[in-house]
């Protein structure tokens, strides 16, 4: 294969990989923005300690996710603090080390860094399954709403999805209101602590490059044997749709805090 043909193949398949992960990154980015808005509104109005209302539950899942992926990729764990707030704003941490000559462990830095995205997702799934009577129906709605072209969505599709989710939650609330309130609180607390921190992503980019190279190698091998990545894309998209739960709850919190901020501003302005 000529160099120009090889580079063209690389470019084409990098675009294909980007397409596979588009929905995942779009939903993660939306949730990240909403998290920042919730934190900003909460701190500005109610003080920094208000974050503890969610952090005591969300942070342990965040740190356990890091620790689990440390074990998967063979890193040595030195210390795990699931929830230990300090004056610098650190809520918890996992310290670990690895062999920088081991490609598996180096690639692991990337997955360890983004581990809370998957650990938190599993926690949301488990919480939903345990607390909502019609969890199976909710998951089926999310599964059926997998969008292969997230950049070409119509508002009617999004509105239809949100309406179905709202109807299912209302049905469960009619019979088990306490369960729904506990579910909403737990999922919101976990969702608000999904995003990796800057510290989490230090050293992750080398691992990310290794991961991309392995994906390209796998695609090349599949092309030789006549396979493809389509099933992989569908799996990623179906898993990604669980982030919709976190996005809905985080959006609700942003709306409530925004209304509260307006009320406080009106009260302070009048008096």
231-268 pLDDT per residue, tens: 666 667 677 778 888 888 888 888 888 887 788 777 77
In a domain, 3, yes or no: no
- Residue 86 token pair: 């300090």
- Residue 226 token pair: 């006549």
120-140 pLDDT per residue, tens: 889 999 999 999 988 888 888
Helix (H, G, I), strand (E, B) or coil at 192: coil
Number of domain units in the chain: 1
Distance CA(96)–CA(78), nearest Å, equals: 5
Contact (Cβ atoms closer than 8 angstroms) between residue 192 and residue 35? yes
Please provide residue 95's backbone torsions phi and psi, each rounded to the nearest 5 degrees: -100, 135
First CA to last CA across the chain, in angstroms?
77
pLDDT of residue 271: 57
In a domain, 1, yes or no: no
The pLDDT mean for the chain works out to 82
In a domain, 15, yes or no: no
In a domain, 17, yes or no: no
pLDDT of residue 225: 62
DSSP annotation of 83: S
Distance CA(267)–CA(264), nearest Å, equals: 5
Quick one: the chain helix, strand, coil %, rounded to 5? 75, 5, 20
In a domain, 49, yes or no: yes
Answer positive or negative: Cα dihedral of 160, 164, 165, 170: positive
* 153: pLDDT strictly greater than 60: no
Q: Which of 16-20, 50-54, 223-227 has the highest mean pLDDT?
A: 50-54
* 103: pLDDT strictly greater than 90: no
Q: In 3D, which of 35, 57, 33, 37 has the Cα closest to residue 45?
A: 37
Beta bridge partners of 76: 97
In a domain, 19, yes or no: no
* 147: pLDDT strictly greater than 60: no
Tell me the pTM. Answer: 0.83
In a domain, 2, yes or no: no
Which of 41-55, 160-174, 249-263 comes out lowest in average pLDDT? 41-55
pLDDT of residue 223: 66
89: region left, alpha or beta (phi > 0 left; psi from -120 to 50 alpha): left
**Structural domain containing residue 119:** 24-270
DSSP annotation of 228: -
């Amino acid at each position: 294969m000529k160099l120009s043909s090889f580079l063209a193949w690389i470019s084409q398949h990098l675009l294909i990989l980007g397409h596979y992960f588009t929905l995942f990154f779009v939903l993660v980015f939306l949730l990240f923005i909403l998290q920042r808005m919730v934190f900003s509104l909460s701190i500005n109005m109610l003080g920094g300690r208000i974050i503890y209302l969610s952090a005591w539950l969300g942070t342990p899942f965040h740190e356990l996710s890091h620790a689990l992926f440390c074990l998967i990729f063979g890193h040595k764990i030195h210390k795990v603090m699931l929830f230990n707030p300090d004056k610098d704003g650190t809520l918890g941490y996992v310290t670990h080390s690895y062999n920088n000559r081991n490609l598996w462990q180096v690639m692991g830095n990337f997955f360890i860094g983004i581990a809370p995205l998957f650990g938190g997702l599993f926690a949301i799934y488990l919480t939903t399954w345990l607390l909502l009577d019609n969890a199976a129906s909710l998951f089926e709605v999310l599964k059926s709403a997998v969008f292969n072209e997230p950049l070409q969505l119509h508002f009617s599709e999004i509105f239809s999805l949100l309406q179905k989710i709202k109807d299912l939650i209302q049905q469960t609330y009619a019979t088990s209101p306490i369960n729904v309130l506990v579910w909403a609180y737990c999922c919101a607390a976990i969702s608000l602590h999904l995003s990796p921190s800057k510290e989490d992503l230090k050293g992750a980019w080398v691992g990310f490059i290794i991961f991309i190279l392995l994906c390209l190698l796998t695609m090349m091998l599949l092309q030789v044997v006549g396979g493809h990545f389509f099933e992989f894309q569908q799996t990623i998209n179906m898993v990604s749709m669980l982030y919709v739960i976190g996005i809905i709850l985080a959006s609700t919190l942003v709306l409530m805090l925004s209304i509260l901020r307006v009320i406080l501003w009106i009260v302070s302005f009048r008096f």
